[in-house]
Amino acid sequence: MKKRAARVQQGEEVTLCCCEYVNRHGERSHVAACCCDCEDLDDACERFVKREPQRAESLAKVAEVFKDRVRVPWLWGGARKVDLSIIPPLILLPALLHLAALHFLLGLVVLTALPGLVLWYYYFTHYKKGQTLFFLSLALFSLGYMYYLFITEVFPSGDISLAQVSMVTVGVVLTLIALVYTKREPGIVPLNQNPVPCTVRCDSSLTDNSTGINGGRQDATMAAADRIRSSGQEDAEPKESSRRNWCTTCRVVRPPRAGHCRICGVCVLRLDHHCVWINSCVGQANHRSFLLTLILFLLTSLYGISLVLQSVCPKQPLLLALLSCPGVYNQYRTALCFTCAWYSSIVTGGLLHLLAVQVINISHNVTEREARVALREKTARSTYWGLVVDTGVYSRGFRGNWTEFLTMGDKCNALAVAPTDLV
């Protein structure tokens, strides 16, 4: 079946119903027509039947068409595209956990292989510097699925009180609220020339190795200049002394401690790192809410794990229940709850390490990005196998560092400057 779609003119305002959308060719289409105009797929199938070699670009074109047409109806603005990376966790996580609950050895294999697969995919996507919703989908679905099993499998056993269920529910809700707030804005370097307020102490001599004013520290007195967009300034370049603060991608002069994220494609104020679990950068505007999200999730997870172990292993001490729980595999329900407790413990252990790194870095007033740069250039003191990295530039003592972190503003203030004015 072949249907000719009407092409939407550029700049034309289009009113779409809930099932309509504008495809990658700029043509108006409908979700019901997902099987129409499949020339690339037809050609690939025909070559397969005739045992002819496939064209080099055929499979890539089929994949592009498939990704463009997988959409869900939406009331405002037409059908929305579905990112395919969110689907694997929704299928694999329940399947693997139920498989692991069948036998002890299967649980050992699955719970050993699952973190390895996640780490492999993390390094694969990190190498390609591409955005993916896989980890955010895995995190959210893990939280939701563990809560669902807690309500449907653990609570009906009668070992958990309504007050304890309420505590877990409040923890899940607060974690989601903190996550939504964290996802709002990391603190992108502004595109306009208006100065914006800053309460973070900056030193231009550390992260980007540029020379500080009179060789000393300074409070933030610089702001991001406007990205060069006009034709008269398009080729303007900063002087040699400020070249390290110049972002050639965003064409903006970065304030001290700001950095460019190659995954998001923007410069972020006081960039700490890009977190794949929230699919966003952690910067000056959302660093505190990111830390709060970690704490809320860990408290909720630890409390939930303790309740599950008390229910399925009531005769064992809490600290030993994960290692020894006789008879837990006699019933599938208890085996599934025990497997989910182990899965949650693995996730909690990884996030405890992340929280420890965050607390240590904040205590020394150093971001994760600054720590990596300082270790690479051997300008920092590293102890405890690299867990503690102290650059010694921004630190004002434990109390002063935490005061600065908790009171820093969402944006960075500086006088708007042209790229060629920094010396």
What's the CA gap between 240 and 419, in Å, rounded? 11
Residue corresponding to tokens 């070559």: 47
* DSSP 8-state secondary structure symbol assigned to residue 152: I
* Residues in contact with 26: Cβ distance below 8 Å, sequence separation at least 6, in sequence order: 7, 8, 10
Report the candidate in 171, 234, 167, 244 with the shortest Cα–Cα distance to residue 205.
244
What's the CA gap between 391 and 363, in Å, rounded? 12
Torsion region of 219: left, alpha or beta (phi above 0 gives left; psi -120 to 50 gives alpha): beta
Q: How many residues does the chain have?
A: 423
Q: How many CB atoms are closer than 10 A to CB 174?
A: 16
CB 336 within 8 A of CB 351: no
**Candidates 247, 267, 275, 337; catalytic one:** 275
Q: Residue 261 catalytic? A: no
Helices (H) then strands (E): counts for the chain: 11, 12
For residue 253, CA distances in Å to 53, 293, 391 come to: 51, 31, 23
What's the CA gap between 271 and 293, in Å, rounded? 18
* Helices 398-407 + 332-363 axis angle, to 10: 110
What's the CA gap between 191 and 194, in Å, rounded? 9
Would you give the end-to-end CA distance of the chain in angstroms?
Answer: 65
* DSSP 8-state secondary structure symbol assigned to residue 153: I
Q: Which two tokens stand for residue 144?
A: 């939701």
* DSSP 8-state secondary structure symbol assigned to residue 202: B
Q: Are strands 259-261 and 252-253 parallel, antiparallel or unpaired?
A: unpaired
What's the CA gap between 204 and 256, in Å, rounded? 5
For residue 86, CA distances in Å to 60, 138, 140 come to: 20, 8, 10
Active site amino acids: 275
